[in-house]
Amino acid sequence: MTKKVGIGFVVVFVLMEVMSFVIHGVLLASAYEETKDIWRPDMESLMWVYHVLSLIGAFFFTFIFSKGYEGKGIGEGVRYGLYIGIWMSTGMAYGSYGMIAMPYSLAMQWFLYGIVEYVIYGAALALVFARKDTPAAKGT
Protein backbone atom coordinates (compact mmCIF):
# COMPACT_ATOMS: atom_id res chain seq x y z
CA MET A 1 0.00 0.00 0.00
CA THR A 2 1.42 3.37 -0.99
CA LYS A 3 1.59 6.36 1.30
CA LYS A 4 -1.16 8.15 -0.67
CA VAL A 5 -3.47 5.13 -0.38
CA GLY A 6 -2.88 5.04 3.37
CA ILE A 7 -3.50 8.77 3.77
CA GLY A 8 -6.52 8.64 1.46
CA PHE A 9 -7.96 5.72 3.42
CA VAL A 10 -7.69 7.63 6.70
CA VAL A 11 -9.12 10.81 5.18
CA VAL A 12 -12.10 8.97 3.66
CA PHE A 13 -12.74 7.02 6.87
CA VAL A 14 -12.76 10.19 8.98
CA LEU A 15 -15.02 11.91 6.45
CA MET A 16 -17.38 8.91 6.48
CA GLU A 17 -17.64 9.05 10.26
CA VAL A 18 -18.22 12.81 10.30
CA MET A 19 -20.71 12.76 7.43
CA SER A 20 -22.57 9.86 9.01
CA PHE A 21 -22.97 11.83 12.23
CA VAL A 22 -24.08 14.99 10.42
CA ILE A 23 -26.54 13.23 8.12
CA HIS A 24 -27.96 10.55 10.41
CA GLY A 25 -27.38 12.15 13.80
CA VAL A 26 -28.43 15.69 12.91
CA LEU A 27 -30.17 16.15 9.53
CA LEU A 28 -32.30 12.99 9.63
CA ALA A 29 -32.74 12.72 13.41
CA SER A 30 -36.35 13.94 13.34
CA ALA A 31 -37.23 11.58 10.47
CA TYR A 32 -35.80 8.67 12.46
CA GLU A 33 -37.74 9.72 15.53
CA GLU A 34 -40.97 9.87 13.50
CA THR A 35 -40.34 6.35 12.19
CA LYS A 36 -38.97 4.79 15.39
CA ASP A 37 -41.51 1.94 15.19
CA ILE A 38 -39.84 0.43 12.11
CA TRP A 39 -36.28 0.24 13.52
CA ARG A 40 -34.73 -2.54 15.59
CA PRO A 41 -35.11 -1.94 19.32
CA ASP A 42 -31.45 -2.95 19.84
CA MET A 43 -30.14 -0.82 16.98
CA GLU A 44 -27.92 1.35 19.19
CA SER A 45 -26.00 -1.70 20.43
CA LEU A 46 -25.20 -2.64 16.83
CA MET A 47 -23.74 0.71 15.71
CA TRP A 48 -20.25 -0.83 15.82
CA VAL A 49 -21.21 -2.64 12.61
CA TYR A 50 -21.41 0.68 10.78
CA HIS A 51 -17.93 1.69 11.94
CA VAL A 52 -16.53 -1.60 10.62
CA LEU A 53 -18.39 -1.09 7.32
CA SER A 54 -16.93 2.42 7.10
CA LEU A 55 -13.41 1.04 7.56
CA ILE A 56 -13.89 -1.54 4.83
CA GLY A 57 -15.69 0.89 2.53
CA ALA A 58 -13.09 3.63 2.99
CA PHE A 59 -10.28 1.23 2.17
CA PHE A 60 -11.83 -0.15 -1.01
CA PHE A 61 -13.11 3.26 -2.16
CA THR A 62 -9.54 4.55 -1.86
CA PHE A 63 -7.87 1.43 -3.25
CA ILE A 64 -10.04 1.36 -6.39
CA PHE A 65 -9.50 5.09 -6.93
CA SER A 66 -5.74 4.57 -6.70
CA LYS A 67 -5.83 1.92 -9.46
CA GLY A 68 -7.50 4.24 -11.97
CA TYR A 69 -6.05 7.58 -10.88
CA GLU A 70 -4.97 9.65 -13.86
CA GLY A 71 -3.98 12.95 -12.21
CA LYS A 72 -6.74 14.98 -13.88
CA GLY A 73 -7.57 17.15 -10.87
CA ILE A 74 -10.48 17.42 -8.52
CA GLY A 75 -12.98 16.73 -11.30
CA GLU A 76 -11.64 13.19 -11.53
CA GLY A 77 -12.44 12.62 -7.86
CA VAL A 78 -15.87 14.24 -8.13
CA ARG A 79 -16.72 12.06 -11.14
CA TYR A 80 -15.50 8.92 -9.35
CA GLY A 81 -17.49 9.85 -6.24
CA LEU A 82 -20.60 10.51 -8.34
CA TYR A 83 -20.41 7.14 -10.09
CA ILE A 84 -19.79 5.19 -6.90
CA GLY A 85 -22.33 7.29 -5.02
CA ILE A 86 -25.10 6.53 -7.48
CA TRP A 87 -24.20 2.84 -7.47
CA MET A 88 -23.99 2.45 -3.69
CA SER A 89 -26.84 4.79 -2.75
CA THR A 90 -29.33 3.28 -5.18
CA GLY A 91 -29.03 -0.18 -3.66
CA MET A 92 -28.90 1.00 -0.07
CA ALA A 93 -31.75 3.52 -0.22
CA TYR A 94 -34.15 1.80 -2.56
CA GLY A 95 -33.27 -1.73 -1.49
CA SER A 96 -34.11 -0.70 2.07
CA TYR A 97 -37.29 0.99 0.86
CA GLY A 98 -38.34 -2.27 -0.78
CA MET A 99 -37.81 -4.24 2.45
CA ILE A 100 -38.74 -1.82 5.24
CA ALA A 101 -42.04 -0.02 5.71
CA MET A 102 -40.40 3.38 5.55
CA PRO A 103 -41.55 6.62 3.94
CA TYR A 104 -40.36 7.19 0.38
CA SER A 105 -39.06 10.60 1.43
CA LEU A 106 -36.54 8.94 3.75
CA ALA A 107 -35.32 6.60 0.99
CA MET A 108 -34.92 9.55 -1.37
CA GLN A 109 -32.96 11.49 1.27
CA TRP A 110 -30.68 8.51 1.83
CA PHE A 111 -30.12 8.31 -1.92
CA LEU A 112 -29.37 12.02 -2.36
CA TYR A 113 -27.25 12.40 0.77
CA GLY A 114 -25.36 9.26 -0.22
CA ILE A 115 -24.43 10.73 -3.58
CA VAL A 116 -23.29 13.97 -1.95
CA GLU A 117 -21.18 11.98 0.53
CA TYR A 118 -19.38 10.00 -2.15
CA VAL A 119 -18.74 13.10 -4.25
CA ILE A 120 -17.09 14.69 -1.20
CA TYR A 121 -15.03 11.53 -0.58
CA GLY A 122 -13.94 11.46 -4.22
CA ALA A 123 -12.97 15.14 -4.20
CA ALA A 124 -10.96 14.58 -1.03
CA LEU A 125 -9.13 11.65 -2.64
CA ALA A 126 -8.31 13.73 -5.71
CA LEU A 127 -6.72 16.29 -3.39
CA VAL A 128 -4.76 13.62 -1.51
CA PHE A 129 -3.53 12.01 -4.73
CA ALA A 130 -2.81 15.27 -6.58
CA ARG A 131 0.70 15.78 -7.76
CA LYS A 132 2.34 19.05 -6.80
CA ASP A 133 2.14 20.31 -10.38
CA THR A 134 -1.58 19.56 -10.94
CA PRO A 135 -4.33 22.18 -10.61
CA ALA A 136 -5.96 20.18 -7.75
CA ALA A 137 -2.78 20.40 -5.69
CA LYS A 138 -2.55 24.17 -6.24
CA GLY A 139 -6.15 24.69 -5.15
CA THR A 140 -7.39 25.84 -8.58
The one-digit pLDDT tens for each residue of the chain (140 residues) are 799 999 999 999 999 999 999 999 999 999 999 998 888 888 788 889 999 999 999 999 999 999 999 999 999 999 999 999 999 999 999 999 999 999 999 999 999 999 999 999 999 999 999 976 545 555 54
Q: Is residue 115 within 8 Å of 85, Cβ to Cβ?
A: yes
Q: What is the pLDDT of residue 39?
A: 87
Q: How far apart are the first and last CA of the chain?
A: 28
Are the C-beta atoms of 13 and 55 separated by less than 8 Å? yes
Instruction: Please state the domain count of the chain.
Output: 1
pLDDT of 133 reads 52
Is residue 72 classed as helix, strand or coil in its secondary structure?
coil
CA gap 116, 130 in Å, rounded: 21
Residue 76: give the domain boundaries. Answer: 3-35+43-138
Report d(CA 117, CA 102) in Å as an integer.
Answer: 22
The pLDDT assigned to 139 comes to 52
pTM of the model as a whole = 0.88
